[in-house]
Structure 1
Amino acid sequence: MHRVTLRGLVPGQHYVYRCGSQEGWSRHFQFRALRNGTAWSPRVAVYGDMGLVNPRALPRLQREASAGLYDAVLHVGDFAYDMDWNDARVGDAFMRPGEPLAATVPYMTCPGNHEQK
């Protein structure tokens, strides 16, 4: 896990980045910093209930986010169902295909009924 606080971003500016450490680095990702002020309205994709076996919405979300159609994505629960199963390997397998989307736009989540324990 890597955690970073980005300071001094220029609103609307395009940035390229990668994550890692001495053990290895990710590929390069890119994002556009959100605009500020009140003269714009954010474009947000909201979706939920996407399991590991058949994430049918993911290719379209990734394609549209890469094309700049969304400023942020809100995933409203039901992530892969039992993400902690098999020493969290289910969670890893679920998160890998979504990495390009979550690395491109702000990607926020909230728990659904399947995250309840």
Structure 2
Amino acid sequence: MELWHFILLIFEFFLLLAWFYILWIIISDLFSDRAVSGWAKALWIVFVIFFPFLGSLVYLIARGGGMAERRAAQVQAAQSQFNDYIRQQAGTGSASELLDAKKLLDDGTITQAEFDRIKARVVG
């Protein structure tokens, strides 16, 4: 095998992977859009599979702007869920944490200012 044939083979393989990636993006966008009916989704899938280049190009032209908006909404929802989870896990302190801090204050391990900061965090 000559060097140029090998380079061409690598380039074709790259194009094949790029095509599968675009197909994956189109199909995932199509099925995540609740505004499109089942029949319309089926027609888009048939169009993209039987006329791959034309179908993908038409899909990206016709629905490309909506793809970005739907993806941004998904990212925003995921970020909101993550933030809610972090707030829930961080939460406010518990009564046992306040009792432990009081014990440390009585033992002289922490100062009154440190105890007040812990108390403020636990209470509110």
Structure whose alpha-carbon radius of gyration is higher:
2
Which structure has the highest helix share of the two? 2
> Under a length normalisation based on structure 2, what TM-score does the superposition of the two structures give?
0.24
Structure scoring higher RCO (CA < 8 A, sep ≥ 6) equals 1
Which structure has the highest strand share of the two? 1
> Under a length normalisation based on structure 1, what TM-score does the superposition of the two structures give?
0.25
